Chain A
């Protein structure tokens, strides 16, 4: 798929801008602080209804304006859809699809799919596990939009279960209750039910994440090899809180959803006294991590800045490859590549080339050149390899002008 038109009104630094984009490479070039990232951020927002830079929408609306409007035309195969998003300050956002209002804004999620790399992605390597879990979960939704509701339901079950554990453990923690039979407490009659819900939903999330990681791993290795200075192999592995809760041995084959569900039930029953004492859910996909290793050492805490940056970029490039080429395991019907219907995502690379030397620039260019559409930002025109021919836009002082090439 590709974005053929982008128009912004009061989005970030832009009062008004209209752009015709092309399939293939689109490069946005201009000095720092001129609004290059703002453009690609808008495209990422249409895909995910969130910014890669801020958690809160307020910063997206031009200072002094009340609402921002982002309009895009997305072409997939021979079908075009227009998505209009209105981002309101202090009021619910609104969305229109092909000019008709949609009941819920999130109904437009999934029409445009993007894989976006930006300098902020350094947290994938240097940050806490929640950034890496979010990386896997965002990818999961791109792979199978249905799973968005599984993730949302799991979040809700966690909140409900934690509330129950807190209310049940409250008197104990304050030292009023006696006896070990926690299940006898009136609050806890429903805990078994919440355990079951946590296990069913959690098992599906863990199973999909494990399969995603297996599918991603070879692409991460390859992408890291291209964009790094070539020292050490980049490896990824899924580390589940289940393994430590149950002292599971390491195995090479993936457990099924049903097996994980049984393991989760076993784990919560073992951890019950501890969970009640502490009032938190101690096992499940929300306590898992994606472990990154570089040449056998943990990337977090060991990798240099440049290595960490390359690893983060490799994770995004690998996501793109996975979504485009799919995974080979045909007896697992978790997902299929969507490229046969021109569903491959739009690739967005914000500020990537400046960090690379000439050789690695060229190797990255070779990797991304076949993509259906790539949006690139760069402060210096010379940073973008000549071989990435395409459309160039100069971005300067709120004006975006197309440059013939």
Chain B
């Protein structure tokens, strides 16, 4: 244990995902030794991210305005919605340059162990986006693991009866993994080879 401020910093850093106690200590002492300007820039970035970044009121992606960059872009087709778990999945799919529609970020996947059910995901928001009948296809791009598959099946069963084309990314993605771990070529191919699903 260190005294006061140093220990507080180590504790806070240790709360971050992927940062163990050893790394937390190393980062803390790195910051302690760093230039005051460097530290100020980091503090600024942290403050800005909380002050400026919001979630897009349409799709739930991270945004600096009411709507995210994709939703504001008039060239993006409003007839196809790609459903993903997290904002980082939007980034992964954008990198492929394959997809010209819009997104819907659920904010997770169905996961009874962690007590996450359909009501904890942005599913009702998705349903209201479908109300005006503009959307013709929903691409289910949840992660290729057990929870992502279960979420996709749940949505397919919900959306199927609405007369929409519901598709799922082709297999071939790393099994059991996160969408973001797939490289651009593989993910692009999975998009092209997407198949219609029926719950």
Q: Which residue numbers of A lie inside 8 Å of B, CB to CB?
A: 149, 152-153, 156-157, 159-161, 163-164, 167, 186-187, 189-190, 192-194, 196-197
- Most chain A CB neighbours (cut-off 10 Å) among B112, B157, B175: B112
A196 to B157, CA, bound (A): 12
Cβ contact within 8 Å between B154 and A187: no
Residue of B nearest to A196 (CB): B153
Mark interface residues in B134-164 (1 if CB within 8 Å of A CB, else 0): 0000000000011101100110010000000
Contact with A along B115-138 (1 / 0, CB 8 A): 101110000000000000000000
* Complex Cα spacing A152 to B115, Å: 21
Q: Which residues of B contact A149 (CB under 8 A)?
A: 175-176
**Can you offer 13 A-B residue contacts whose CB atoms are under 8 A?**
A153-B176, A156-B145, A160-B111, A160-B146, A163-B112, A167-B112, A186-B117, A189-B117, A190-B150, A190-B154, A193-B150, A193-B154, A197-B146
Q: For residue A187, which residues in chain B have a CB less than 8 angstroms away from its CB? A: 112, 117
Please measure, in the bound complex, the distance between the C-alpha atom of A125 and the C-alpha atom of B139, giving whole angstroms. Answer: 50
- B residues in contact (CB < 8 Å) with A: 110-113, 115, 117-119, 145-147, 149-150, 153-154, 157, 175-176, 199
Q: Is the interface of A mostly helix, strand, loop or mixed?
A: helix
Given A160-B112, A167-B112, A194:B117 Cβ within 8 A: no
Asked whether A161 lies within 8 Å of B118 as measured between CB atoms, the reply is: no
The answer, among B111, B115, B119, B153, for a CB contact under 8 Å with A197, is B153
For A167, list chain B residues within 8 Å (CB).
Answer: 112, 115
Q: In the complex the two chains form, what is the Cα distance from A190 to B121 in whole Å?
A: 13
A197's nearest neighbour on chain B, judged by CB, is B150
B157 contact set on A, CB distance < 8 A: 192-193
Nearest-neighbour CB distance to chain B for A202, whole angstroms, equals 13
A156-B145, A160-B150, A186-B117 known; 11 other A-B pairs, CB under 8 Å?
A149-B175, A153-B146, A153-B176, A160-B113, A161-B112, A189-B118, A190-B112, A190-B117, A192-B157, A193-B157, A194-B112
The answer to whether B176 touches A193 (Cβ under 8 A) is no
Closest-by-CB residue of B relative to A160 is B112
A188 nearest CB neighbor, chain B only: B117
Contact A197 B149 (CB under 8 A): yes
A186 close to B119 (CB less than 8 A): yes
Query: In the complex, are the beta carbons of A193 and B153 less than 8 A apart?
Result: yes
Give 9 nearest A-B pairs by CB, closest first.
Answer: A164-B112, A163-B112, A156-B146, A163-B113, A193-B154, A193-B153, A149-B175, A160-B112, A193-B150
Instruction: Give chain A residues whose Cβ lies under 8 Å from the Cβ of B175.
Output: 149
Report the minimum CB–CB distance from A161 to chain B (whole Å): 7
Closest chain A residue to B158 by CB distance?
A189
Take A160-B150, A196-B153, A197-B150 as given contacts and tell me if A190 and B176 are in contact as well, using a CB distance cutoff of 8 Å: no
Name the contact of B110 in the complex, choosing from A152, A159, A193 (C-beta under 8 A).
Answer: A193
The distance in angstroms between the C-alpha atoms of A211 and B112, with both chains bound, is 33
Q: How far is the CB of A20 from chain B (nearest CB, A)?
A: 38
For B115, the chain A residues whose CB sits under 8 A away are 167
Compute how far the CA of A160 lies from the CA of B154 in the bound complex, rounded to whole angstroms: 14
Task: List B contacts of A194 (CB < 8 A).
Answer: 112, 150
- Determine which of A157, A192, A196 lies in contact with B146 in the assembled complex, contact meaning CB atoms within 8 Å: A157
